[in-house]
Amino acid sequence: MLLKLSRISALISTLNILVCQAAFVRKFECSSTETFNALDGPFRVESLHGTLGKIDNSTVLSLSILAIHDTARFTCSDLDLAWLEASLRFHVLGIPVGHVKNFSTNCPLPITKTLTPPEGSLFSSYELFYSLGNAHRLQTVVSDVDFRTREGVQLDCVTPKITPDIGTAASAIFTYLPAAVMVLVGIASWKTHANDGSIMSIESRSPWSILGTVWRITLDLADYLRYLQFIFLTGSLTLGYPGFYQPIVSKVAWSSLLYWIGPIDHGFTYPGVEDGLYAVNGTYGLEYMAQTLGFPTMPDVMINSFINLFILTFGVVVGILILFLITSELGRGLLSLVTWSAGIVLMGMILSLFSLPLLSFLSYEWILTGYLPKYRIIIVGFSVAIIVYSNLHITHHINRQTEASDCSSPDSLAQRGSFTSPMPDSPGPATQESRNILQEWAARVVEILNHPMKKKEKGFQVMRPPRQG
């Protein structure tokens, strides 16, 4: 008997510690709530805090409810605590789970420096310890907390929706499985180009022959990357319930330039997962996704995305230069290969891959027009205009190169794998080969920009515009 009492005492002490460190829990209105405004009533729920922890191999939810009441119209004895405790039941997909382990109240709370109610009001707290059994990962536990008087008059009703942390294993799967599929797509692309003969012989020691292969594979990966971006960005706009959807979708944030938190946070970062659950407030959209990720606020995320793009681009450029040095006899003739057309194609590839997330992050700033300084809104507007104009300009440039080609038909182009361009005679075969591959890249970028959802056939074909006249 003494052992049982000591275990219960230890349990209560542990749960009290957990409540003191509880994370914020967003409250929703009950679906069955009668038409009334709790703000005008004598009693209302102010906030919810909770935590999930393991006790005796069982997942225990501790929920702390802070309420405030008008002392002139309500007293602590007016509340029907028996009804409240009996009605508390959490559900998963409508199925009841678990049971109440302990329920306690503290009404009214003493007035302190950190907890001072408005004049004529007092705070009260209600502590619930609920055994959920298992962790219910990839699920959301929901309950209606209904406060009534002893006469059966409803005072307030809130619905906490708690999403447990999906766990390390699930997080790794949803993060690395899409990346693994991307690797498989790259391998399949390599095999495809090897079979159709588009991979040139390595004996040529030409850097453009190797880079041509790398870029063909990159273009094949682009479609898959854009699907991941679509999933991530649309996941930021969906409803908050079921709550586990955003945590799952957030694991492919790396596809939208959010592969790390970034250096800019202005001293504030959302907790993300706190005390075993996702701590989010009443916001929506990309800000809600930033909270799920544990990132800074969206204005800082927007800046960090450009920093991440710069880091990624810098790494790609350095890799290309190193490849040039290795494959062009220690860099001899390197500068002659780095042409303006190469820069145009590289910029076109970057914009075609990452314009969607960049424009999404930038446009979110306009929601905060009343809070951000005017100069920042102007900079955002210019940035959006520059990205859109750059896409149009590069598309026009590539279309002009395509129209200037001397190919008689797309079929002959696919067989040769290059464009002939009305350029001056090239100084050497390496430069001419580089121009041919640049023209081939240009044709592929035109196909992506003009027909992003068009299924690509083996070897690819260029969609040429009809000639006028």
Q: Are residues 44 and 86 in the same domain?
A: yes
Residue 92 lies in a domain: yes
Instruction: For residues 200 and 205, give the distance between their C-alpha atoms in angstroms, rounded to a whole number.
Output: 10
Q: Which among 97, 131, 162 is the end of a domain?
A: 162
Among residues 109, 135, 162, the one where a domain terminates is: 162
CA distance 346 to 377: 29
CA distance 245 to 237: 11
pLDDT score for 466 = 47
> Is residue 352 in a domain?
yes
Residues 154 and 260 in one domain: no
Q: Is residue 250 part of a domain?
A: yes
Q: How many structural domains does the chain have? A: 2
- What is the span of the domain harbouring residue 208? 168-450
Q: What is the DSSP string of 260-328?
A: S--S--TT----SEETTEE---S--HHHHHHHHHT---HHHHHHHHHHHHHHHHHHHHHHHHHHHHHHT
Closest CA to 45 of 148, 164, 131: 148
Same domain, 101 and 18: yes
Question: What is the length of the chain?
Answer: 469
Instruction: Evaluate whether residue 455 is within a structural domain.
Output: no
Per-residue pLDDT 10s for the chain (469 aa) are: 434 434 434 444 444 444 455 889 988 888 766 556 777 789 999 999 999 988 888 899 999 999 999 999 999 999 999 999 998 999 998 899 999 999 999 999 998 888 889 999 999 999 999 999 888 888 899 999 999 999 988 899 999 999 999 989 999 999 999 999 999 998 998 888 777 655 544 444 454 555 566 667 777 888 899 999 999 998 888 776 678 889 999 999 999 999 999 999 999 999 999 999 999 887 888 999 999 999 999 999 999 999 999 999 888 878 777 766 776 654 455 545 555 656 666 777 788 789 999 999 999 999 888 888 999 999 999 999 999 988 888 777 666 765 665 454 444 444 444 433 333 444 444 445 445 555 555 555 555 445 544 444 444 343 444 444 4
Residue 79 DSSP code: B
Q: What is the pLDDT of residue 318?
A: 82
Tell whether 211 and 136 lie within a shared domain: no
Do 125 and 198 lie in one domain? The reply is no
Based on the domain organization, do 315 and 423 belong to the same domain?
yes
Q: Say yes or no: 439 and 330 in one domain.
A: yes
Domain presence at residue 21:
yes
| Inside any domain, residue 462 | no
pLDDT confidence of residue 417: 44
Among 162, 196, 220, residue at a domain's last position: 162
Joined tokens for residue 11:
């349990």
Identity of residue 9: S
User: Quick check: is 38 in a domain?
Assistant: yes
Domain presence at residue 329: yes
> Do 206 and 114 lie in a common domain?
no
pLDDT of residue 404: 60
CA separation, residue 92 to residues 129, 163, 167, 171 (Å): 17, 10, 18, 21
> In a 3-state reduction of DSSP, which class is residue 39?
helix
What pLDDT was estimated at residue 232?
94
What's 15's domain CATH number?
A: 2.60.40
Of 98, 1, 108, 106, which is closest to residue 9 (Cα–Cα)? 1
The per-residue pLDDT for 317 is 79
pTM, rounded to two decimals:
0.75
Bridge partners, residue 156, by sequence = 147
Do 217 and 186 form a contact (C-beta atoms < 8 A)?
Answer: yes
d(CA 53, CA 276): 7
Mark whether 184 and 320 lie in a shared domain: yes
Q: How far apart are CA 409 and CA 435, in angstroms?
A: 19
pLDDT score of 134? 86
One domain for residues 107 and 27: yes
Q: Would you say 63 and 132 are in contact if contact means Cβ atoms under 8 Å apart?
A: no
Residues 217 and 157 in one domain: no
Q: Are residues 119 and 46 in the same domain?
A: yes
